[in-house]
Structures are given as structure tokens and as C-alpha cells.
Structure 1
């Protein structure tokens, strides 16, 4: 079986990392030949991931420059012609629309599986997107959501597709297990003493990720006499928000206490180096970043949004409303007073191997239904 994953921009973000990981796992398990196509150019910080995929035999392609709508369609058609997939997996709404239009233009019978990733769990809340999906939904062999809430919202917005199922996200659990050597190496690189608490947040710089709450919580932690730093790792999705965060840091005299790390390929090492992980998000889907943090065993403070309820079943996880930065800071301090320990958590349900098996079964089913060899 030849499996082509289509993403909008190859970058360090949940949908793109899931596509890359599934492609690698399916190649390694000899489920089939896997490829990943970006509609936009690959971001510089993501190129090490791209190179690793290619070393594993994954077929990778993205244009050298940004393309217009017609250019995107031509590029997708040419790439599909070169790769000759048996199934296309389109991650998120824009790749899903482009992939299905490209297939219609070539009068091809290649099945398209759409995977929904929006943090709102309501991918088609917008009127134009909803209209396009109602037109194109019959061209999707299946629609996959990462939460049941997203599945219910899809039915509400767009009606019933040919097939709708929920497959929660997963990750490479062993990759994110605590590594003491990585911890020592990274803290030495950043010149962090053992008595300094490292608070880590991973996620694109965007209001929905709410990094501002973490900055204010750090201010309150320092006022109580804590020795701490905040590390913010993630690509800049919203430059104006990034600028506002830096102004907030300056306003509260936190220069030297907040590090903007940008997009990082070494999230596993960052998690090992951290003493507490925070996720004050206003919205999330089934967060891959949360699963990675759980796998590392690090203590976690997250917002009280429904999608994080699953995480509270595990040791060392608390939720708090980050709107009160004092309560948020107090929750972090309370976790740390119980000692900087790593927690053992059974995350087998979120193993990427298990997730990949479910996707492989779906691909086999849709290709057999469409009569693809």
C-alpha cells in the first residue's frame, strides 16, 4: 500500500508531527510505502525531521516557494502523479479541500481520508469552510476526528459523511521518557543551576496557547522567593502576540527569567530538563504535546478545559484556571513542594504504535472499498 500524508506546512505542530510519525511507523512496520507532502515550503526548523524521514525511506516533498491556489493544485497533482498513492491522508481542513479538488480534477478514484485537528474541536465553524465541506464531503472516503466532541460538531455542521470515526492522538512514548543525561547536558548548555526551577511550556506563540498567563505566574513565583525560569518553546504563529509577550516580560522586569526558544527539534530533551510543565491553553484538541509531557513523567499544571480531563487521571497532574495567575503560580509551587520527582504513568493507550494500527486498518478498509489493489 502506498500512503501519502498531505499537510499544509511541514513544521513543529501537532498535525504535522502526527503525519510524520505515522509515516515513519508505517514504513518501519512495513505497512506500506509512506510519503509526506507539504502544500507550503518546509520550515527551516522542521528540516531535521524531514531529513530523518527520508533516511527511513519516507518520500518527502514540498514546494520551494509559496504558491497560489492554482499553483497548489498543480503541485499536488504533479506530486500525486509521481508518488502514485493508494490512499491520501489529508491533515486539517485546507489540505483536505485541496486534496479532494485535485483528485476530482484528475478524475481519479484514490480514496481521501480527512483528519481533523483544530484546537476548537469545531473545524467547520466558519461559514465558507462549512459550505466547501458540504460540497466536498462525499469525496472523502472517511473523516477522522481526534475527539468525540469534534465528531459531534462535524455532524452538526456538515451532516453525516460516508464514514466518521474518532482516533485519539498518540506519540512515541519511549522517545519522551525521562533522560537524566539529556537533562544535565541541556541545563549545562543553558547554564542553569540545580536549584533553579525550570518551568516549560511548549506550543506555538498564539493567544490560544496563553503564554501570557505563564509569564504572569512566573512573576508571582519569583515574588514568593522561588528561583525559577520560564522556557517558552514553539514557533511564532502570531508575531503581534509574540511582541506583546516580550513587552509583558519587560514590563514586569523578567528579562533573563524568560527564554523564548523558538521552534525546537529537541522537545524530549527540554521535557527532561524541566521541573514542571505548564499548559494554560484556552483551547486544544487531543493534544500531542500533553501526551509527550505525560510520557516524560514531569509534573504538569494545565488549564481546566474539558480536553485535559483525561490527563488528571495520572499522577502529578493538576488543573487550574489560569485566569488567576496567582492561583496558577500557587499550583506550580504546590507541585514542586512535593519534590522534583518523575512520575510513572501507564500511557499504553496513547502509544503511536496503537494509533498507527488503527489508521492502517482504516486505510486497508477504504482502499478495499474503493477497489484499490
Structure 2
């Protein structure tokens, strides 16, 4: 799923630059999206998102076999589990360039030690096996800096496809007609997996309270997949929130929303928020690292403390009641997105990193730029 939803632009840039590109992940329904980019998908059936010792051991064997067969010049790892396993396996197998992107630590300095210790330890130890560490936000890099090798890490930010994600009045009308909502109904939406860490509980509580206060003048929707691997997956049936499932027309979804809400507990650098911003949608985001980087509170968006349904209801309620505020924030966020969040720039930075590592290590190839 991550290859298609998070890394499609980066993979496309690799292919366009003329590189033989492989995507290694668990198989699934998103594979055709990846192969359509010109990427050869290598299935690793046991290397799924959730942690399971026996299955993960099989996943390690599958990864080792794949790397021995492919003999890549560059291995770029992503996501917590595959990032840890991939960096260690790649370095031990002699892959010339091993790079990792941290999309967000699964612990923050405010968490208890018993949560922070295993997360930080795994990331730091794995970083010793890579040649370069790329971070999407400065807070995560700062957290690990005391244990990272000097000169081997940098903050690259994050981005989205600014050609695809643009506000469309026509798509707004089409999707709102599909949903059966009136032109003057304020549509509030969340996007993401239906799990507690995405703030689904707070979103549902906010929806209940504001629907009771505003009636048919407001409608709430949630877009995204179930996550059967997560024990805290939530169902929204009977809550008054319309669950739209996965959608392939996400630019239309953002265009149709009046307010985008991301009450997540942790983010690396929220892609969905950048997409919403690019589509000129007013936003309420959690006041956490990975969301604060998207914009300034009160200028581009509103921030709300994570896990606080009362605060979330207050922020969303302000936007529901104030059309002028929605318009001002949405336009400012759109301008910031087009100035700062170009995914192709981030992808090009990855290619530059590969070349820099190759040059530093004295490899025979150093030009892997787009």
C-alpha cells in the first residue's frame, strides 16, 4: 500500500530518470498501480505492516532472497519495520548504497520510556547499517541526533503531486451531488485508516456534537481503508459519519470538503494534509510534529491538541460556523502547498543522496540524478 499511496511519485521519478526500479513489499490490490509506473514489483508475502515474530522471520528470509537475486546498487527503505529490517539486511549483504527515510518515529519525547526505548533503540541501531538517513521532519532528526553518525543525516521534508492535487469546482459539484449534500451544507471529512492512532474516536465525538448542534447544515465523512492488522480498528456504522471507504478520486474528495480534519496522534509529515492544502481546503490538524510543519496555526490552518475531543470540537466548530475563516485559511494553505510541497523536488533529493553516497564511497557511478 505504501508503495502506491506514499511513494508513487518517487518511484515514477526513478523510472523517468532511466533507472531499473523495483518495489519490494507485501502483495496486495495496489500492485497494479505500482507496476503501471514501470516498476517491477517483488512480492514479500510475510513482510506486512504489523509485527509478528514468526511471520517477520519469514519476511527477513524473503527479503534476503530477493536482494541476493536482484543485487541492487541502491536500497532505499521506508516505514518502521521494513526500514529496520531492510537497512540491516542490505548492509550485511553488501548493497553499495543503503538509504532510509524516516516517515515519523513511532514514539515522541513525551511518551513513556517503555515506549520510547525500543523505538529509539531500533532506529538508532538500524541507522548504523545505512549510508544516509533522510528525515521528513526536523523534530525526529533532533530526537535521534545524539546517536546518529555525523554528516550522514538531513531533513528533506515531504511533498505531494501538485499536478494531480488541485482544487476543482467541477469535481466538487460532482462529488457533493453523489453524496447528496446541499451546496450550503458544510462537509467535514477525515482521511486515513480507521484506527485509534489516527484520532477516529475524537473525530466521531466531534461529529456527534456538531451534528447535534447544527443538524443538516453539517455532514461528516471519513475516507480510507479498514486496517485488519490493527487490533484497535474502529467501525463507524451507526455513528452518523458516512464511511466512504477507499477512493481513487482523492482530489475530488478534498475539493468537495469544506473542512479537512486530521486528529492523528503521530505523523511523520502528513501527506493527506498537504493534499488537502493543495486542493484549497480549510484544515484542523493535531498539534504534533508532522502536522505543525504543514502550516502556521491561525494562518494556514487550526491546530488542536491530540486526544482532546473537546478542543477538536471547538476548532472544527469555529470553521463550520465561519465561512470567511474557512476561505482565508484554505487560500493561504493552497499558496503554501504550491510553494513548499512539491513531491518531485523531494524525489530528486533522494537521487542526489544516492549520488552523494556513491561519490563518498568511491563507487564507479555517481550520476543518478533525474
Alignment partner, residue 40 of structure 2:
59
* Helix, strand or coil at the partner of 2:75: strand
The CA deviation string for residues 102-159 of structure 1, in whole angstroms up to 9 with x for no partner, is 33553x2422111112255659964445445554433210111111110111124x34
Alignment partner, residue 155 of structure 1:
145
Relative distance call for 1:294 and 1:134 in structure 2 (3 A) is closer
Q: CA deviation at 1:27?
A: 1.8
Structure 2 gap ranges (5+): 48-53, 366-370
Structure 1 gap ranges (5+): 1-9
| TM-score of the pair, normalised by structure 1 | 0.80
The CA deviation string for residues 157-206 of structure 1, in whole angstroms up to 9 with x for no partner, is x3436611111011111211012232233223333332332111112222
| Counterpart Cα distance in 2 of 1:307 and 1:70 | 31
| Counterpart Cα distance in 2 of 1:351 and 1:32 | 21
CA contact (8 A) 2:27 2:44 kept: yes
| TM-score of the pair, normalised by structure 2 | 0.81
Q: Extract structure 1 runs of 4+ deviating beyond 6 A.
A: none
Q: CA deviation at 1:369?
A: 2.6
Root-mean-square deviation over aligned CA pairs: 3.0
Q: Tell whether 2:224 aligns with 1:234.
A: yes
Relative distance call for 1:119 and 1:101 in structure 2 (3 A) is closer
Relative distance call for 1:101 and 1:346 in structure 2 (3 A) is closer
* Helix, strand or coil at the partner of 2:276: helix
Output aligned runs, 1:265-284, within 5 Å. 265-284=248-267
Q: Which of 84, 104, 113 is equivalent to 1:97?
A: 84
Equivalenced residue count is: 343
Deviating more after overlay: 146-155 vs 260-269: 260-269
| Counterpart Cα distance in 2 of 1:339 and 1:346 | 15
Deviating more after overlay: 191-200 vs 116-125: 116-125
Q: Which of 209, 224, 247 is equivalent to 1:220?
A: 209
CA contact (8 A) 2:171 2:252 kept: yes
Output aligned runs, 1:168-247, within 5 Å. 168-226=157-215, 227-237=217-227, 238-243=230-235, 246=237
Relative distance call for 1:279 and 1:132 in structure 2 (3 A) is closer
Output aligned runs, 1:102-141, within 5 Å. 102-106=89-93, 108-118=94-104, 120=106, 122=108, 126-141=116-131
Output aligned runs, 1:282-361, within 5 Å. 282-305=265-288, 307-310=290-293, 311-312=295-296, 317-321=301-305, 322-324=308-310, 325-336=312-323, 338=325, 343=331, 344-347=334-337, 348-361=339-352
